[in-house]
Amino acid sequence: MYRSGAFVADHVTPTTDEQVQPNGVDVTLQAVYEQREPGRIGRDGKDIGTRHRRPADPVVEGESIDEVTDENETYYLPPGGYIVQYAEIVSIPDDHIGFIYPRSSLLRNSCMLDTAVWDAGYEGKGEGLLEVHHDIEIEAGARIAQFVLAEADHEGTYDGSYQRENL
C-alpha cells in the first residue's frame, strides 16, 4: 500500500506545503551532471564514470549580479542523457520501499526520468537519469519528480555504497 503524502513528507527534508501531494512529495532539481568517461559494472564491484557538473545560465531578476543566487540558475539541456541530483534528503523508513516517478510536466516536454528502487534504510540526496528528447530549460529548484513510499516486507536494511550519498 502506498502511503499518504503527509506520511512521505515526514521522511523528506526540506519540504514546503506546495511539494506535499495526496500520495507523495515533489522533489526538486539541485544540479545537472554529464557523464564524461565510461563506468564499469562487474561481478566484483562497480565504478561510476567521471561526471562534470553542467553549467547553468543565471537568470538575472535583480538590479545587480549580486542578487543572482544558485536558486536562480536555469539549465538549458539539448537532447541527451543527464544525471540529475535531487535537492531533498530522503530517509526510507523500515518496512517501506521508495520510488521516484517523473512529474507529468517532464513527460509533456519530451523528457523521461529513469530511477531505481530505494530500499528500506537508505538515506541521502538521490539521483536519476534524465532523458531529454527535445531541448528544454529547467530551473534549479523546479519540481521534477514525485517521491512515494509503499509498505514492504524486507530482510535487513540498506547498507550499500550509496548510503548517505551527496550529503
Dihedral of CA 5/6/11/16: which sign?
A: positive
Mean pLDDT, residues 138-145 taken together: 94
What percent of the chain has a predicted confidence (pLDDT) above 90? 74
The pLDDT tens digits of the residues spanning 144-167 come to 999 999 999 888 888 888 888 888
Rounded CA-CA distance 13/15 in Å is 5
The pLDDT tens digits of the residues spanning 49-96 come to 999 998 887 655 554 444 444 446 899 999 999 999 999 999 999 999
Residue 65 corresponds to which cell in the numbers above? 549580479
What is the chain's mean pLDDT, rounded?
89
Mean pLDDT, residues 15-38 taken together: 95
- pTM for this predicted structure: 0.85
Q: Where are the beta strands (DSSP E) in the chain?
A: 12-13, 20-21, 24-35, 40-42, 45-47, 51-53, 57-58, 73-77, 80-86, 89-91, 96-102, 111-114, 123-124, 127-132, 136-139, 143-151
Mean pLDDT, residues 114-118 taken together: 93
Q: Which residues contact 112 (CB under 8 A, 6 or more apart)?
A: 102, 106, 130, 131, 133
- pLDDT score at 42: 93
Task: Give the fold, CATH level 3, of 5-35+73-151.
Answer: Deoxyuridine 5'-Triphosphate Nucleotidohydrolase; Chain A (2.70.40)
- pLDDT score at 58: 61
- pLDDT score at 67: 46
- pLDDT score at 61: 54
| Range in 28-32, 88-92, 109-113, 159-163 with the lowest mean pLDDT | 159-163
Q: Where are the domains of the chain?
A: 5-35+73-151
pLDDT band of 20, cuts 50, 70, 90 = very high
Q: What is the DSSP letter of 118?
A: B
Mean pLDDT, residues 22-49 taken together: 93
